[in-house]
Copies of this chain bind each other. A is one copy, B any other.
């Protein structure tokens, strides 16, 4: 439905939380004490992020997770990709990857390339958005949040 999954949402909450604690380890328990999220599911999400190399796991007591790279270098695209996989928007791609001849509409499909452009634009937006940029500046108050909203409005949409 063109919507982030809860897993991705949880991943973002966890990662944003960790940005303020770079260098430290954050456990799932700690996260669940702070945010009312299902512990087991959050654990699964963190595991996925670990597999994707976005966070580093530390097992055992006093263990947890920490960012695998500075928040500037972790992109929204990488995060979404780790949890949901690279979005394909149309089914053309998925079908093209299967062996059964690919998308049967394709030879006469009038929207494929154009829709690809849209997909590219969205994906570029994701990859251009760093985890750092998703974290509200702690020094800024409510004004800053409004400022951010104004900025995004002024940026306009790529086309």
Q: Which B residues are CB-close (under 8 A) to A9?
A: 90-91, 111, 115
A157 x B116 contact (CB < 8 A): yes
In the complex, A120 Cα to B3 Cα: how many Å? 12
Query: Which residue of the partner chain, among B89, B105, B111, B121, contacts A125 with CB atoms under 8 Å?
Result: B121
Query: Which residue of the partner chain, among B2, B34, B36, B129, contacts A4 with CB atoms under 8 Å?
Result: B2
Q: State which residues 5-20 of A face B: CB under 8 Å.
A: 5-6, 9, 12-13, 16-17
Q: State which residues 115-159 of A face B: CB under 8 Å.
A: 115-122, 124-129, 133-136, 145, 148-149, 151-153, 155-159
A108 at the interface (CB under 8 A from B): yes
Copies of the polypeptide in the assembly: 2
A69 at the interface (CB under 8 A from B): no
A41 at the interface (CB under 8 A from B): no
